[in-house]
Structure 1
Amino acid sequence: MRERQTEYVSPANYSQNAAYLPYRRYLVDWMSDVGEQCRLHNSTVHVGILFLDKIFRSRNIPRGQWQLLATACISVAAKYEEAEEHCPPIPELLRLTKLGNAGHTPLSFRDGELEVLRYLNWQLRAVPPIHVVGYFLAKGAVFYEDTWQGRSLIEKIPKYMKKYADFFCNLTLQEYSFQQYLPSHLAAAVILASRVALNIEPRWRPELVRLTGYSEIEITDAFHHVWSYYEEQFPGHGSRAISPRSVTNMY
């Protein structure tokens, strides 16, 4: 996974000059809504948005093609990430996105998918931070010796950790500046942010260094970036512990 992660996101590819960036937040929100309506996995939407970013930051795509290519990115991601029976049929995508009203047909949509594949050189193994976070959580990101708000851990803490981690992954997906970090680097910062949000002590452990490959010092800048962006989007929340229910309600 570490070897593959730089194919889509790396500091070397990070650029703030792409023409679409002022509108990226709207595209991300729109693609997320399409993914939710199609009942796709959250991680599939993240992959589709990485596809879009790679295409749009390297090419000047006419605005008239944005909706078609964004939808095609979601469709291609679903075909790569989801089981076949969960992939949305093209007529359904045309209906949901109203691309059919704009004159697109299943044939022209397939042309859009093919254009996406060509832009990506048929290299579809994108590794978004949410994939890496899922791996970290599966291996275990809370430990018996941890304390929660000064007390021993309760049974629901791993479930709470997943809620926080998903929340921070979705939050950082909205802002392009987080692509200056490697996915594994940002994923480690998300784990740290989730532990801080839960008031788990210690914030970082030797076991997490071994799991993630990063010390707390190495991810401090990324963590502060995540936390400051969170406080900017939800003023007042960052100064106190967040309840799992409030995280669910935010997104």
Structure 2
Amino acid sequence: MKFTNDHYSRGDSFMFKPIKSWEQAHEELGSIEVTMSDSSLSSMAQPFGITESIDQSLGMCTEDLFIDMCERQHDYVSPRTYTPDASYIPYRRYLVDWMSDVGEQCDLHTTTVHVSILFLDKIFRSRDVPRSHWQLMATACLSIAAKYEEAEENCPPIPDLLRLTKLRDAGHTSLTFREGEVEVLRHLGWKLRAVPPLHVLGYFLSKGAVFYEDTWQGRTLIEKIPKYIKKYADFFCNLTLQEYSFQQYLPTHLAAAILLSSRVALQIMPRWRPELTLLTGYEETEISGAFKHVWSYYEEQFPGHGARSISPRSVVQKDFLSQA
């Protein structure tokens, strides 16, 4: 049930495809809903903590957005482009930490930082960038990602970026920085729609990632469980961003594995459900390898945490997250 290019062939990849309104999608799905048996509908568990359909509140069919992400995810991350022997890989962790710190100081959304790092990875794995240009390229990637992902008023001005990153002290001006941005855009082929797992998980969580029939540590779910799931999902996304080896998985594949990791970390049972297979497009067996990779890296970075019960509050604490 995995989403593939064959499943969602695009034809003209640059053709604009408007998002269907929720009403249109509902009408199109009407005939399908009628053919479903009552027993099939009754066997599906209801999402826990979802009080209103995201499709209704936004007035659109959000599944179209997910389909679009499935189609575009190959542009930046795929097993085909995975290059673990790229020359910058030994230094990548430092670049990721530095870009994350700059993004935090600029009050950028976490998703913006994740997208900017996908930009940098795509450029660095395909060409040899002199180390003297690394800081400029990394900052330009952040700036471009902000312009694409953020509201205009949240985009950091170039003079502020030059001062914050000390590029100004290295002799860069607004003009040379803009030249750096243009260089990044050319390397990216002007295709800026990058899909990190964090984007995919946003869709999964909006649809519901825990269900009324689930249990938490053998007990009935409590009201804050959906928030805890989100905190763990964000944590695992930030954790896996640091390690390039996770780019051997498609973003939808890794996002599903992170969702499974979040449920396991919270001791939610069952670990995986048919409803999650329907939502993500993956059976548990299909993501077991990626899940084991995520979980082993988690235990490596936080020895002992994975082997014992962690309070959901601990994943929210800044000192816990700051170690990632």
Amino acid at match of 2:274: P
Matches of 2:278 and 2:313, distance apart in 1: 31
The residue aligned with 1:134 is 202
The residue aligned with 1:175 is 243
1:62 and 2:130 are equivalent in the alignment = yes
Root-mean-square deviation (Å): 0.6
The residue aligned with 1:19 is 87
User: 1:242: Cα distance to partner?
Assistant: 2.0
1:71 and 2:161 are equivalent in the alignment = no
1:38 and 2:103 are equivalent in the alignment = no
Matches of 1:79 and 1:136, distance apart in 2: 25
Matches of 1:13 and 1:52, distance apart in 2: 14
Amino acid at match of 1:247: V
5+ residue gaps, structure 2:
1-68
Matches of 2:132 and 2:261, distance apart in 1: 39
Percent identity, aligned pairs only, is 78
Q: Describe the superposition over 1:177-215 as per-residue Cα deviations: whole angstroms up to 9, x where unpaired.
A: 000000000000000000000000000000000000000
The residue aligned with 1:111 is 179
Q: TM-score, normalised by structure 1?
A: 0.99
Amino acid at match of 1:32: S
Matches of 2:233 and 2:129, distance apart in 1: 33
Aligned residues: 251
1:1-251 aligned within 5 A: 1-248=69-316, 249=318, 250-251=320-321
Amino acid at match of 1:10: S
Matches of 2:223 and 2:193, distance apart in 1: 35
Matches of 2:148 and 2:92, distance apart in 1: 23
* Greater Rg by CA: 2
Determine helix, strand or coil for the equivalent of 1:127.
Answer: coil
Find runs of 4+ consecutive structure 1 residues off by over 6 angstroms: none
Q: TM-score, normalised by structure 2?
A: 0.77
Q: Describe the superposition over 1:195-241 as per-residue Cα deviations: whole angstroms up to 9, x where unpaired.
A: 00000000000000000000000000000000000000000101012
Matches of 1:41 and 1:143, distance apart in 2: 28
